[in-house]
């Protein structure tokens, strides 16, 4: 058996974590041969709830789970970790935009960025889930200058999964028959879910998604709006934000980062630095990526960007610039 890797999940007493921890602990993310030491961070008032989660993990009797460390202490939580899944933050309620959470949440990611910088392994892979996820990831990365910026990401895989599922339902096919659906920009209602480069396999035959769907009005209106507003629709119905689907998306994101994607293209929020699509530098922007077995990612280049797409890619970029400036002034203030 390999040495255990140390995986931190924050917000561990919350909703998403309750769906996520079992999948990680049973090997769905890091593979069936990789023992895991799970570190669970939440705030002090949640320690009793967190102890209940720890008891349940123990009662699952999972062979890969070498130990579980519940804590409210960042210094202990971030010590020597290999992976950080930063979920802990306030979720939005009905009627809010995700950026309305900036004031409440950005300070959490400042503090955790500093903790990453001080205590984590320099190879740590970080995914930020707590909203507004892109800008929180940016702040964490800025506060951790000794960790490579390429080790920071934010979750837009839930949006990608939502896009794939919408196309699959439209065509009556399985969601794995939908490839290269791309999420550009912010995990917010300005994100641009893009099918222009997507392919679908129908009755064993692969073709362009646009040709198979044959409904440009749906692609440019209903589809985009549904994916952009899906989080809000779930909150309206459940009175709570997406948790099961978010946990599934976190597993997809981290598994692909850990093992690589081959030729498959996935969307992840990463720091924009000199990218092929002219997106402003210094924001965490969701791009189509491929990931190597060495866990380094490359932005998929050479995609043709229409005027329609350009306008949408710029709109979500501009929102991220605005969020970044607000977040920096909150952090510095």
Give dist(CA 134, CA 116) in Å, integer: 17
Count the neighbouring beta carbons within 10 Å of the beta carbon of residue 206.
Answer: 11
Give dist(CA 183, CA 160) in Å, integer: 6
Q: Which does 234 bind (CB under 5 to 8 A by kind): ligand NAD, ligand LMR, none?
A: ligand LMR
Smallest separation, CB 238 to ligand NAD (Å): 10
Token digits for 259?
């093992």
| Interaction between residue 99 and ligand LMR (CB under 6 A) | no
| Interaction between residue 233 and ligand NAD (CB under 6 A) | no
Binding-site member from 79, 98, 121, 253 for ligand LMR (CB under 6 A): 98
Query: How many residues at the interface with ligand LMR, by CB under 6 A?
Result: 11
| Interaction between residue 164 and ligand LMR (CB under 6 A) | no
Binding-site member from 65, 127, 234, 247 for ligand LMR (CB under 6 A): 234
| Interaction between residue 267 and ligand LMR (CB under 6 A) | no
Q: b/e per residue, 66-78, with b = 16+ CB within 10 A?
A: bebbbbbebeebb
| Interaction between residue 16 and ligand NAD (CB under 6 A) | yes
Q: Which residues are catalytic?
A: 187
Query: How many residues at the interface with ligand NAD, by CB under 6 A?
Result: 28
| Interaction between residue 170 and ligand NAD (CB under 6 A) | no
Binding-site member from 37, 131, 161, 166 for ligand LMR (CB under 6 A): 131
Q: What contacts 125, CB < 8 A, 6 or more positions away?
A: 82, 83, 84, 151, 153, 254, 257, 258, 295
| Interaction between residue 284 and ligand LMR (CB under 6 A) | no
Smallest separation, CB 7 to ligand NAD (Å): 15
Q: What contacts 162, CB < 8 A, 6 or more positions away?
A: 193, 226, 227, 230, 245
Binding-site member from 7, 13, 178, 279 for ligand NAD (CB under 6 A): 13
| Interaction between residue 91 and ligand NAD (CB under 6 A) | yes
Query: Token match 């979920």: residue?
Result: 87
Strands 182-184 and 297-299: unpaired
Return phi, psi of residue 269, to 5°.
Answer: -80, 125
Binding-site member from 9, 39, 126, 155 for ligand NAD (CB under 6 A): 155
Binding-site member from 188, 191, 241, 317 for ligand NAD (CB under 6 A): 241
Smallest separation, CB 274 to ligand LMR (Å): 28
The interface with ligand LMR within residues 60-79 (CB under 6 A) comprises none
Smallest separation, CB 43 to ligand NAD (Å): 5
Which residue's Cβ has the minimum distance to ligand NAD? 14
DSSP 303-322: ----HHHHHHHHHHHHHHHH
Asked whether the bond before 132 is cis by omega within 30 degrees of 0, the reply is yes
Strands 192-194 and 125-128: unpaired
Give dist(CA 99, CA 112) in Å, integer: 19
Q: What contacts 73, CB < 8 A, 6 or more positions away?
A: none
| Interaction between residue 142 and ligand NAD (CB under 6 A) | no
Binding-site member from 134, 241, 272, 317 for ligand LMR (CB under 6 A): 241
| Angle formed by the axes of helices 244-259 and 157-171, nearest 10° | 110
Interface with ligand LMR (CB under 6 A): 91-92, 98, 131, 158, 231-232, 234-235, 241-242
Interface with ligand NAD (CB under 6 A): 10-11, 13-16, 41-43, 46, 87-92, 108, 129-131, 133, 155, 158, 187, 241-243, 246
């Amino acid at each position: 058996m390999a040495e255990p890797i140390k995986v931190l999940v924050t917000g561990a007493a919350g909703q998403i974590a309750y769906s996520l921890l079992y999948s990680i602990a049973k090997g769905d993310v890091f593979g069936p041969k990789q023992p895991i030491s799970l570190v669970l961070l939440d705030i002090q008032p949640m320690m009793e709830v967190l102890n209940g989660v720890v008891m349940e993990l123990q009662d699952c009797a999972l062979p890969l789970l070498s130990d579980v460390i519940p804590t409210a202490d960042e210094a202990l939580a971030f010590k020597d970790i290999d992976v950080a899944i930063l979920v802990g933050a306030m979720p939005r309620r009905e009627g809010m935009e995700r950026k309305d959470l900036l004031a409440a949440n950005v300070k959490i990611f400042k503090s955790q960025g500093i903790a990453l910088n001080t205590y984590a392994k320099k190879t740590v892979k970080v995914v930020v889930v707590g909203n507004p996820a892109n800008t929180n990831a940016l702040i964490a990365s800025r506060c951790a200058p000794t960790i490579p910026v390429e080790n920071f990401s934010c979750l837009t895989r839930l949006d990608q999964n939502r896009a794939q599922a919408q196309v699959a339902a439209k065509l009556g096919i399985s969601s794995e028959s939908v490839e290269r659906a791309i999420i550009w920009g912010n995990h917010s209602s300005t994100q641009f879910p893009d099918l222009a480069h997507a392919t679908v396999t129908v009755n064993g035959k692969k073709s362009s998604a646009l040709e198979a769907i044959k409904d440009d009005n749906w692609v440019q209106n209903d589809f985009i709006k549904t994916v952009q507003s899906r989080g809000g629709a779930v909150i309206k119905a459940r009175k709570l934000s997406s948790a099961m689907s978010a946990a599934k998306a976190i597993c997809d994101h981290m598994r692909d980062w850990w093992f690589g994607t081959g030729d498959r293209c996935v969307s992840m929020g990463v720091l924009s630095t000199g990218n092929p699509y002219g997106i402003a530098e210094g924001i965490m922007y969701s791009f189509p990526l491929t990931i190597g077995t060495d866990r380094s990612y490359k932005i998929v280049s050479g995609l043709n960007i229409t005027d329609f797409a350009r306008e949408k890619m710029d709109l979500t970029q501009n929102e991220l610039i605005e969020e970044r400036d607000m977040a920096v002034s909150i952090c510095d203030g």
